[in-house]
Amino acid sequence: EADIYQTPRYLVIGTGKKITLECSQTMGHDKMYWYQQDPGMELHLIHYSYGVNSTEKGDLSSESTVSRIRTEHFPLTLESARPSHTSQYLCASSPRWDYEQYFGPGTRLTVT
């Protein structure tokens, strides 16, 4: 079982609030990813990182930002939440020389 954690698991928040979704892994993986998942849709990559101080935007345009100050930690921040941000957010990690991604349990975000 993969050791990758996401908090909170569920979050309901009002429009305009700033939120941070936490993701941590204890496997020492270099690569980490954030995906957005909506029902009946493919997972969309919104951010990824190849290591400390490395962050890139994915294919899906997002108003969120990420940071990678420590190998094990990859938080995602929304400066001003909107109802269009309502979705499930999945964090994943992968070793440098492997192609398998390990996923966290997800954060289900609802913006009212």
Partner 1 sequence: AQSVTQLDSQVPVFEEAPVELRCNYSSSVSVYLFWYVQYPNQGLQLLLKYLSGSTLVKGINGFEAEFNKSQTSFHLRKPSVHISDTAEYFCAVSEAGNQFYFGTGTSLTVIP
Which residues are near partner 1 by CB under 8 A? 4, 6, 31, 33, 35, 40-43, 45, 48, 50, 58-59, 90, 92, 98-106
**Alpha-carbon distance 67 to 56, whole Å?**
10
**Alpha-carbon distance 74 to 67, whole Å?**
6
Please, what is the minimum distance in Å from the beta carbon of residue 37 to partner 1?
9
Nearest residue (CB) to partner 1, 24 versus 104: 104
Name the token pair of 56: 């890139």
Nearest residue (CB) to partner 1, 14 versus 39: 39
**Alpha-carbon distance 26 to 5, whole Å?**
9
Give, rounded to a whole angstrom, the gap between the first and last alpha carbons of the chain.
Answer: 34
Nearest residue (CB) to partner 1, 3 versus 17: 3
Closest C-alpha among 8, 1, 55, 60 to residue 31: 55
Please, what is the minimum distance in Å from the beta carbon of residue 67 to partner 1?
19
Nearest residue (CB) to partner 1, 17 versus 86: 86
